[in-house]
Structure 1
């Protein structure tokens, strides 16, 4: 089924059913996004756990931070 076909069919539905379709679609998108993020986290976790070069800068986490700002003249 094409997107255009789906949209044409949606136009035929009453408002309450359109809202139901939107709600279920959003739920499906959220679920798919969560699965994708979990896969990415699991993959990256192994990388960070096994490659100490990836976490080298975390040693600086407890260091004080001093922001410097360039002075604007003009």
Structure 2
């Protein structure tokens, strides 16, 4: 089904269902946009977090045992 056909079918729905479709579509677009921005930011900072000694200092603890106090 193409875009025009989809719009035609959606326009036949009651107003509440059309609003529901709009809300879900906008929510999905926002999530995609946020995810895309986070991926870009992570990629830009990857080298820094991989090699900068000030940012990798705590990785020395990676092999230490971790005990959770209770």
Q: TM-score range by the shorter chain?
A: 0.5 to 0.7
Gaps of 5+ in 2: 1-13
Gaps of 5+ in 1: 1-12, 70-74
| Cα deviations by residue, 1:37-63 (Å, 9 ceiling, x for unpaired) | 101111221211231221111111111
The Cα RMSD (Å) is 1.9
State the number of aligned residues.
57
Tell me which protein shows more helix as a share of its residues. Answer: 2
Moved over 4 A (4+): 66-69
With structure 1 as the length reference, what TM-score do the two structures score?
0.63
With structure 2 as the length reference, what TM-score do the two structures score?
0.66
Larger Rg: 1
